[in-house]
A = this chain, B = another copy of it.
Amino acid sequence: MWSRALRSNLKLSKSEACIFFKNKIRGASTCVEGEPEGPVVKTDIPGPKSKQLLQELGSLQQVGTIQLFANYDKSIGNYLVDADDNILLDTYTQISSLPLGYNHPELLKVFNDQHNMKCLINRPALGVFPGEDWPKRLNGILSEISPKLPNITTMMCGSCSNENAFKNIFIAYQRKKRGDVDFSEEEKSSCVLNQPPGAPKLSIMSFKNAFHGRTLGSLSTTHSKYIHKIDIPSFDWPIATFPQYKYPLEDNQRENEEQDKKCLSEVEELFEKYEKKGIPVAGIIVEPIQSEGGDNEASPQFFQQLQKIAKKNNAYLLIDEVQTGGGCTGKFWCHEHFNLETPPDIVTFSKKMQLGGYFHTAEMTPRQPARVFNTWMGDPGKLIILQTVLRVIKEQKLLDNVLHTGTLLKIGLLELEKEFCYLLNSTRGRGTFLAVNATDSKLRDEILTKLKAKGIQSGGCGSNSVRLRPALIFQEHHANIFLDKFRQVLKEIN
């Protein structure tokens, strides 16, 4: 069964395949006690209570994206319970932001500790009056999970992390250009009025179909859907093509390698083009797997070359791990699968990390204070939650669990793809961070709707992909339920 081809398709190393088997033999003990045996659907979703609540909320704000109202007292582990008591197996986990599922007992205990509670309630301006345990806490995070980067800046969410990381990039880029001299009076006075040379024309290169956030700077690097961007002014920054692979990978190797080459040469061209245009590229931002844009992968070789091109052009490489980070790809950071020559200059995070922020090289740290700064600079209350998440991941060997469950899920999806080849194709991903394409977007939406009617909360991405974003505690028995329901749906559609 573990042929080289299958291993290659599943992207498992030999040692990872061993972990899979060890888990297989050991059998899965439940990560969270008290989960139901499976999903239970009692009403349409949204049900009558959710509909009533939707109407109430609709008088206060735009509610078109709301799928249901949840009961977070009753939700448990991998199961989301809604206001109408429907019990859904959650493979989407609040847009991939719940590392340990619902009501994890260890998380419920975090603030029983009075010191932790006081850290939560007395929220400080961390850049001015941090608590005395803050250096130790940050040091702990760095030593446990930093992707070999020595510095950390904490923030509140993914958009803010990318926005501020851009600033670190611009600051470092200009320092390199200016040399070790003070700002000129002209720079000082012009920047306050939004004008060059103080506010220089510089850009961040991004990729088509990328998603890096919704605030005006990060939105200028987001290109996944028009509805995210229409009517909003944007910086004129360069946008390169991201590889679009054909699957299965092993049958399309030559073509996919051509994709890599074409896209990389476009990156080089854009460096030149924007230099000539007077808006030089200070950095590149890229997701290790384009998530919102359709779970588009690129090869380790692509990323290795991309880093080389950035270095050659004196630009910095920012890897956006907001959605891919936190263990869901089987490694803590997805880019750790790529064997980069050196760590990226910046790695941003949020979502499963609870806290936003980024790891970075010392070169990225501004020499002067107050340049990357805001009132809160993160939130100790979220960092304390993250510390517990990390402890549970370690104690319960959840990265092994991700690899094990992910392998099962991927095998299952490949089998479904074979059985329903006129409905599904292009199974891909790492760990439990997986996706499969429907033949068109209407069919994809139908699949998501029918899955929900069978008690599976799932999500889409891109125009026609079904994406899996379960919690790290998603186990073999959950995978089997999901695959079983998915098969039923495909049979019904068939």
Contact = CB atoms under 8 A, between A and B. Distances in A.
A138 B60 contact: yes
B70 A370 contact: no
Q: How many copies does the complex hold?
A: 2
Interface in A259-310: none
Contacts of A125: 94-95, 97
B200 A231 contact: yes
A108 B97 contact: no
Nearest to A119: B72
Contact of A139 (B56, B171, B174): B56
A114 B92 CA distance: 25
Given A121-B103, A365-B62, A226 B128 contact: no
Given A62-B372, A230-B183, A237-B194, A214 B102 contact: no
A441 interface: no
A233 B385 contact: no
Interface stretch (A162-170, A390-398, A422-430): A162-170
A233 B234 CA distance: 12
Contacts of A71: 131-132
A228 interface: yes
A246 interface: no
B124 A70 contact: yes
Interface stretch (A145-153, A409-417, A445-453): A145-153
A417 B151 CA distance: 46
Given A61-B153, A67-B129, A216-B163, A192 B226 contact: yes
Contacts of A194: 220, 223, 229, 234-237, 239
Contacts of A354: 123
A199 interface: yes
Contacts of A229: 191-192, 194, 198-199
A87 B199 CA distance: 42
Nearest to A231: B174
Interface stretch (A34-42, A311-319, A374-382): A374-382
Contacts of A94: 123-125, 128-129, 375
A159 interface: yes
Given A75-B122, A230-B187, A375-B158, A370 B215 contact: no
A18 interface: no
A461 interface: no
Contacts of A201: 233
A73 interface: yes
A122 B80 CA distance: 10
A239 B191 CA distance: 12
Nearest to A110: B121
A462 to B, nearest CB: 13
Nearest to A237: B194
A27 interface: no
A107 interface: yes
Contact of A230 (B67, B68, B188, B233): B188
Question: Chain B CB within 10 Å — which of A163, A175, A203, A375 has the most?
Answer: A375
Contacts of A330: none
Interface string A232-264: 111111010000000000000000000000000
A104 B122 CA distance: 9
Given A157-B374, A191-B231, A193-B223, 20 more contacts: A59-B150, A60-B150, A62-B369, A65-B373, A94-B123, A94-B124, A94-B125, A156-B157, A156-B160, A159-B215, A160-B160, A163-B216, A164-B215, A194-B229, A198-B231, A199-B230, A199-B233, A199-B234, A215-B218, A233-B235
10 contacts: A57-B134, A60-B138, A66-B128, A66-B129, A94-B129, A191-B232, A193-B239, A194-B229, A195-B234, A228-B371
3 A-B pairs closest in CB distance: A64-B369, A216-B217, A194-B234
